[in-house]
Amino acid sequence: MRSSFEPRVCTSRPLRSFARACISLALLCGGPAAAGAQQAPAAPPAEELRQILERMIATMHRSDAADAEYARTEHWVERKRAADADPMLDRVYRVYPTGTGTVKVVLAEFGKQVTPEKYRDELRELEQALVWALDPEEERQHARVEKWKRRTEERFRAVEAFRDEYNLSWLGTETVPDSTPPRALTKLLLDPKAGTGSGSIATELLAASRLTLWVDAESGAVARLDAELVRDLLFGGGLLGKIDKGGRVHMEQTEAAPGIWLPRVTSSQVEGRKLFTHEESVRTVEARDFLRVGPPAELLPRVRRELSNAGLQVPAP
């Protein structure tokens, strides 16, 4: 069973973790990318910046909780190296929440729609995941729940870390020209403080990442996030692997529902070493068609209705 944390790609876990960790940190606050820089005459008072930060954290937590009930269509493109013309992965999914992660139902691969038979098999996989989620006696589900709790708690701590584990700087304002009316966004820089980060790979990566955010000051919605790894990270003292300084993640998000902000574009480029093998990961994920489908108890009847359709058709990718 695939999950949103373990997509079907071929990069090593440490390299995937940088992109995933940065996404988790901002997860859920956004809108269109900012443009048209307009520098304000003076920085706002420190207390005003702290209030923006608090609104941002609150919006992240609210959106994070809601995300567990939203489906979306995602187009994944991944290359082994940035210079590669042809991707190693080009796949369109319909992504559904299962209560302990997500299941990715494949709609198309390398521009070709899957067969109705393949689509039906994918839906059956989703149905089984939802059945397990609703069965308190399902032994394997206990492990999934515990794993999901750990990752949810880790993401929560990462968002909370905005308060105390980063040096906050104001970089001015920028206007989004294609919004109605045009919005002025607050541009912030978050530099990790020395000595922060401990425990998981994701936490260590975040503690070594410099973040630039474009934030709607009133709502706390993050319109865009750019993250850069500012130092090398070693695993197992360097014996198990390394993620190189300079890795980057870019994210833009959209308002899926009032006050709920979910990623619509995420791109990452990271390099490193797994044991003795150099690896590089270049990935872009574009999301659209957000729809609240509810918890497993609400989604399961919807999936079963679709499976019962004799003339089942694959949705357009």
31 phi and psi angles, rounded to 5 deg: 175, -160
Q: Measuring CA to CA, which residue among 189, 163, 183, 257 is closest to residue 223?
A: 183
Instruction: Report the C-alpha gap between 188 and 227 in whole angstroms.
Output: 12
What pLDDT does 91 receive? 97
* Domain contains 2: no
Parallel, antiparallel, or unpaired: how do β-strands 166-176 and 112-113 relate? unpaired
Question: Is there a domain that residue 4 lies in?
Answer: no
What is the tens place of the pLDDT at every residue in 214-227? Answer: 999 999 999 899 99
Residue labelled with tokens 């790979």: 201
Judged by DSSP in three states, 182 sits in coil
229 domain-assigned: yes
Q: Please tell me whether the overall predicted TM-score, pTM, comes out greater than 0.85 for this model.
A: no
> How far apart, in Å, do the first and last CA atoms of the chain sit?
21
Torsion of CA 63, 95, 14, 285, to 10 degrees: -90
pLDDT of residue 178: 55
> Does residue 210 belong to any structural domain of this protein?
yes
Residues in the chain predicted with pLDDT less than 50, given as ranges, are: 1-40
In this predicted model, what pLDDT tens digit does every residue of 234-253 receive, in sequence order?
766 666 677 778 888 999 99
Q: Supply the pLDDT for residue 245.
A: 82
pLDDT digit string (tens) for 189-213? Answer: 999 887 655 556 656 767 788 999 9
**Domain limits for position 255:** 13-307
pLDDT score at 18 = 45
Q: Which two tokens stand for residue 34?
A: 């900012």
139-160 and 46-67 are packed helices; what angle lies between their axes, rounded to 10 degrees?
A: 170
User: Is the residue at 264 inside a domain?
Assistant: yes
Say what the pLDDT of residue 196 is.
59
Distances in whole angstroms, Cα of residue 4 to Cα of each of 14, 99, 166: 16, 11, 27
Rounded CA gap, 286 and 265, in Å? 5
Predicted confidence (pLDDT) per residue in 65-74, tens digit: 999 999 999 9
pLDDT at res. 60: 95
User: How far is CA 142 from each of CA 110, 135, 191, rounded to the nearest angstrom?
Assistant: 36, 10, 38
Q: How many domains does the chain have?
A: 1
Return the residue matching tokens 């068609």.
Answer: 289
Give the per-residue pLDDT at 195: 67
* pLDDT of res. 36: 47
Look at residue 11 in the predicted model and tell me its pLDDT: 37
Residue 313 lies in a domain: no
- 10 Å CB burial of residue 196 (0-12, 13-18, 19+) is middle
Question: Is residue 317, in this structure, part of any structural domain at all?
Answer: no
